[in-house]
């Protein structure tokens, strides 16, 4: 699904990613572990086009999204992202948070189709060969209704339907993060990237968030998750990547990586965190 080839990223003189090469297959659950400052977040941000790589390629479904010429919005909508700090819009209600991106994109698509039809009609008026018009079977009203239905269905799933119309500031950290996760799901992404989704939570809320991520994993969602929760990585990940100083030092099944680390730096890191 995603092929990363010799990905490099520098901020000024600081080279943060020094050539990352890996492949993420459909259905995989990849955990990324490693010391603070090793480039884990930068790597995820490059995957989701939140950072422009300095060099290298990220091939997502056959298209190099590191190439500045491609329309990243087309690809980004297939990748959900969940951040450590939830990143909910505090001036919008819970349901507005969930509906925002799907509605925005669907209305954008609708406008583009209408615009294209406008040009096709002009072209058809002057040409013997008639190009068929795009079929338009929706309206902004319908798009919003469908997005609301879908958002309510997702809220019901996590038992927070009654929070639909409240603002995020009234929620606990665990509730906020679960809403951030279903907000990502509302886009129907092909892969979800999680950047330390439980690191900002009080300990008693970690479980509810990990449980939801685990459910999505069991349903076959492809995911990449930067985490300090080694127990979770061991239980849920199909592969663990250990990063240090901008490189992948070692990657393996959780079984192998945790029980039989090959590289001295992996061993040193694991001895500190396990």
Q: Which residues bind ligand ADP (CB under 6 A)?
A: 11, 14, 16, 34, 36-42
- Cα 11 to Cα 52: distance, rounded to the nearest angstrom: 10
Q: Binds 17, which of ligand ADP, Mg ion, none (CB < 5 to 8 A, cut-off by type)?
A: none
- Beta bridge partners, 8, equal 18, 55
Q: How far is the CB of 35 from Mg ion (least distance, A)?
A: 10
- Considering the complex, state which of residue 12 and residue 62 has its C-beta at the smaller distance from ligand ADP: 12
3-state secondary structure at position 167:
coil
Q: Binds 125, which of Mg ion, ligand ADP, none (CB < 5 to 8 A, cut-off by type)?
A: none
Of all residues in this chain, which one has the CB nearest to Mg ion in the complex? 41
Q: How far is the CB of 35 from ligand ADP (least distance, A)?
A: 7
Site string for Mg ion, 120-159 (x = CB under 5 A): ----------------------------------------
Which CA distances in Å does 7 have to 10, 15, 41?
Answer: 10, 11, 14
- Considering the complex, state which of residue 237 and residue 243 has its C-beta at the smaller distance from ligand ADP: 243
- Beta bridge partners, 35, equal none
- Considering the complex, state which of residue 40 and residue 178 has its C-beta at the smaller distance from Mg ion: 40
> Would you tell me how many other CB atoms lie within 10 Å of the CB of residue 75?
18
- Considering the complex, state which of residue 42 and residue 175 has its C-beta at the smaller distance from ligand ADP: 42
Which CA distances in Å does 133 have to 7, 93, 111, 112?
Answer: 41, 38, 14, 12
Q: Binds 159, which of ligand ADP, Mg ion, none (CB < 5 to 8 A, cut-off by type)?
A: none
Phi, psi (rounded to 5 degrees) for 262: -90, -35
- Beta bridge partners, 81, equal 193
Q: How far is the CB of 192 from ligand ADP (least distance, A)?
A: 17
- Cα 251 to Cα 264: distance, rounded to the nearest angstrom: 13
What is the footprint of Mg ion within residues 30-59 (CB under 5 A)? 41
- Considering the complex, state which of residue 40 and residue 183 has its C-beta at the smaller distance from ligand ADP: 40
Q: Binds 39, which of ligand ADP, Mg ion, none (CB < 5 to 8 A, cut-off by type)?
A: ligand ADP
Q: How far is the CB of 207 from ligand ADP (least distance, A)?
A: 23
DSSP-derived secondary structure for 198-258 = TTTS-HHHHHHHHHHHHHHHHTT-EEEEE-S-HHHHHHH-SEEEEEETTEEEEEE-HHHHH
Site for Mg ion, rule CB under 5 A: 41
């Amino acid at each position: 699904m995603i092929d990363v080839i010799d990905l490099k990223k520098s901020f000024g003189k600081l080279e943060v990613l020094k050539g990352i090469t890996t492949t993420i297959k459909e259905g995989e659950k990849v955990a990324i572990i490693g010391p603070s400052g090793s480039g884990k977040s930068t790597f995820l941000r490059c995957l989701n086009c939140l950072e422009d790589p300095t060099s290298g390629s990220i091939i997502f479904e056959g298209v190099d999204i590191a190439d500045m010429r491609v329309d990243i919005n087309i690809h980004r909508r297939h990748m959900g992202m969940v951040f450590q700090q939830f990143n909910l819009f505090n001036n919008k209600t819970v349901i507005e948070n969930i509906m925002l991106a799907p509605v925005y994109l669907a209305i954008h698509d609708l406008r583009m189709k209408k615009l294209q039809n406008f040009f096709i009609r002009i072209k058809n008026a002057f040409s013997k060969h008639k190009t068929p018009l795009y079929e338009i079977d929706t309206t902004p009203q319908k798009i919003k209704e469908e997005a609301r239905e879908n958002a309510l269905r997702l809220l019901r799933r996590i038992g927070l339907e009654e929070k639909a119309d409240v603002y995020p500031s009234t929620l606990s950290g665990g509730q906020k993060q679960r809403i951030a996760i279903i907000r990502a799901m509302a886009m129907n992404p092909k892969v979800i990237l999680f950047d330390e989704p439980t690191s900002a939570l009080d300990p008693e809320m970690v479980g509810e968030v990990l449980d939801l991520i685990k459910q999505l994993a069991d349903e076959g969602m492809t995911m990449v998750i930067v985490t300090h929760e080694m127990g979770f990585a061991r239980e849920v990940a199909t592969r663990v990547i250990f990063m240090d100083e901008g490189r992948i030092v070692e990657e393996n099944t959780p079984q192998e990586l945790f029980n039989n680390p090959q590289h001295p730096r992996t061993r040193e890191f694991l001895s500190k965190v396990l």
